[in-house]
Structure 1
């Protein structure tokens, strides 16, 4: 290589670096950090480094290119998503076997019973909203991947266990399947969650069970749900396909999501001071993002179906166990217990080791121990009943 070519090569290389650096520096327009991030404590420098690393063009190009190859050549995304046909995406939590799954199953079953006992001691009726897996409702869009054996009978087993513990838990799978058969989409194509239609079906089934088995006290309230607008929705499972912005055209298309809002109906009989009246809150809701995210309007659908206000203690991104533990330690639970508590619990969280946050591990263990003792007592009672039945039938057989 001649001296002129070397100079040209170096100049082009430096020009590319400068162009990429300038491109990256554009990302600092409007960049800010927390007030506690200063130069002296090093947090400001760390924030700048992290921001630059995330926005560096070559990194984005590499990420997009690698994701595109995985997606087109191997039909795979990042860990966390399972790709189906027709642009359907599923959470891999509904497919993969969990570590220590049998131990987790028994521990979570015991914890549910321990929670029931804690609520019963305060005079609160527990109602379980067991959310069936998306793959259970839409298996027709799967490719060759199938859920692990632990997931096959999980929904039915969960219902059998809570029934043995005498916990109210209406079936949501059948009504959701019927709504799907009638032309309603009950789960989003590119998202983990149900649609507002699916949330409404679940709310109606829960309200019917509560009305039949533990009617609410107080005067019913009237709520009305209205559709506000329909917007394109980027499902949370699309995040596991880092194809944008360079390969956005390869991404599963966004889907329409109808935003709904529910509000109480004010009547003349209520009077002008009704909005400020001190009224009892007979229903509380604890759950996951199926309940916490307003996009699905699950809380609003519950209010309308129940004819009652609902206090929502659900949390996004923490599973079903942690929000319940937080609620049981809250002042609201101690001072203003509801008549009925609905616990929304997706079935896929049952065989995993759910996080407990900063809850006291010893207290959580005590809840599980109490639940295990009660379940063992119930099992012994059932076995004794079966033995007594067999003994009473033996003489009859002998005489015959």
Structure 2
């Protein structure tokens, strides 16, 4: 920041403080003492504080003002978002360096290997669906923002490592790049893919699985239908606290087309079918799989022509839902034939909160040394 910009920023700060002070006097002068009050126990002070807060919500106003200055003058938002061009927003997790990132990467790869072995011991095939970063698929909108060196080749490195571990992981970036011109594959204001992007990935995974093995059970004809389209304010807009004073500065909402997948003869959607029939596929992952807005699980059902059990979770990253699934009764009592692990690339070098899991069990999982050839039977 140049010295002239620094002076301008300081002047704005002082000016806003003066305006806020003058505005705050409205709350002081409009206060009326209640008919009944107590001074000794602080009752009078509480009534004044409550009145003042209602008349002058300084916190919200101050937040709006400074968020607007940062957004308009400097093109930045709150920690969590990176502002791109043409109202494109990105998660800052795709850009920023990670403390001890290389060590976290090695630890997470060790856990991935342990998950592979844990499932293979139960005759379950693991397939990784490595989701490319939004900034990797749409680099043309990131502007002057720079991706940290660790993340620049992260997608390619991730694939190299899982190939070394002999885990099937079809390339999802190439087909997504090839389909960009046909419609949006990621939401402009959100971290996640669009239903179209999710459907393309589901199709790619399904073709990979069908080439390498025969899924158990009879094929089922799942049908996906469009339901409603409506404006959608993506999750990254919460890092732009501009409303209500400067709501007009917010990026325009995305237009999100919703879809529903079901068996035509069931009439009640796929959830009613999970109890009785054999389910050869389990899906584990993040909000890319858990959130019904993207219909990823539905698209997988349609293209696989099989039902699946969805163990994905919102807000937990890819590791924690997988560890919970490994300890679930479902895996022990009725293991699936295939587990699809949806894993956004940006999580590979990130730390995880494993406080809910037994440390010795995790250590055993990370130290798995079972020979690779035991899990190579369905390598595409």
Q: Deviations over 1:112-159 (max 9, x none)?
A: 010000000011010100000000000001111111011111111111
Runs of 4 or more consecutive aligned structure 1 residues displaced over 3 Å after TM superposition: 12-15, 17-21, 52-56, 274-277
Q: 2:202 maps to which residue?
A: 203
1:56 is displaced (CA, Å) by 6.7
Q: 1:266 maps to which residue?
A: 265
Is structure 2 residue 27 aligned with structure 1 residue 16?
Answer: yes
Contact 2:24/2:56 (8 A) holds in 1: no
**SS of 2:293's equivalent?**
helix
Runs of 5+ unmatched residues, structure 2: 1-22, 33-48, 267-271, 373-380
Q: Aligned pair in 2 of structure 1 residues 244, 56: CA closer, same or farther (>3 Å)?
A: same
Q: 1:115 maps to which residue?
A: 115
1:320 is displaced (CA, Å) by 0.2
Q: 1:283 maps to which residue?
A: 281
Q: Aligned pair in 2 of structure 1 residues 349, 186: CA closer, same or farther (>3 Å)?
A: same
1:355 is displaced (CA, Å) by 2.2
**SS of 2:97's equivalent?**
coil
1:18 is displaced (CA, Å) by 7.2
TM-score (norm 1): 0.78
Contact 2:318/2:343 (8 A) holds in 1: yes
User: Aligned partners of 1:193, 1:116: CA distance in 2, in Å?
Assistant: 26
Is structure 2 residue 341 aligned with structure 1 residue 314?
Answer: no
Q: Aligned pair in 2 of structure 1 residues 16, 288: CA closer, same or farther (>3 Å)?
A: same
Contact 1:318/1:355 (8 A) holds in 2: no
User: Aligned partners of 1:281, 1:190: CA distance in 2, in Å?
Assistant: 35
Q: Deviations over 1:265-314 (max 9, x none)?
A: 329xxxxxx96983111000000000000000000000000000011000
Q: 1:342 maps to which residue?
A: 340
Q: How many residue pairs are counted as aligned between the two chains? A: 328
1:360 is displaced (CA, Å) by 1.1
**SS of 2:245's equivalent?**
coil
Greater alpha carbon shift after TM alignment, 354-363 vs 83-92: 354-363
Q: Aligned pair in 2 of structure 1 residues 277, 198: CA closer, same or farther (>3 Å)?
A: closer
Contact 1:64/1:247 (8 A) holds in 2: yes
Q: 2:150 maps to which residue?
A: 150
User: Aligned partners of 2:347, 2:158: CA distance in 1, in Å?
Assistant: 11
Instruction: Give the structure with the higher percent helix.
Output: 1
**RMSD value, Cα:** 2.4
User: Aligned partners of 1:13, 1:54: CA distance in 2, in Å?
Assistant: 11
Q: 1:95 maps to which residue?
A: 95
Q: Aligned pair in 2 of structure 1 residues 221, 85: CA closer, same or farther (>3 Å)?
A: same
User: Aligned partners of 2:234, 2:274: CA distance in 1, in Å?
Assistant: 39
User: Aligned partners of 1:19, 1:357: CA distance in 2, in Å?
Assistant: 51
Q: Aligned pair in 2 of structure 1 residues 118, 54: CA closer, same or farther (>3 Å)?
A: farther
Q: Aligned pair in 2 of structure 1 residues 105, 275: CA closer, same or farther (>3 Å)?
A: closer
1:13 is displaced (CA, Å) by 6.8
User: Aligned partners of 2:120, 2:241: CA distance in 1, in Å?
Assistant: 47
User: Aligned partners of 2:53, 2:103: CA distance in 1, in Å?
Assistant: 41
User: Aligned partners of 1:97, 1:214: CA distance in 2, in Å?
Assistant: 39
Q: Aligned pair in 2 of structure 1 residues 212, 243: CA closer, same or farther (>3 Å)?
A: same
Q: 2:76 maps to which residue?
A: 76
Q: 1:353 maps to which residue?
A: 351
User: Aligned partners of 2:229, 2:282: CA distance in 1, in Å?
Assistant: 29
TM-score (norm 2): 0.82
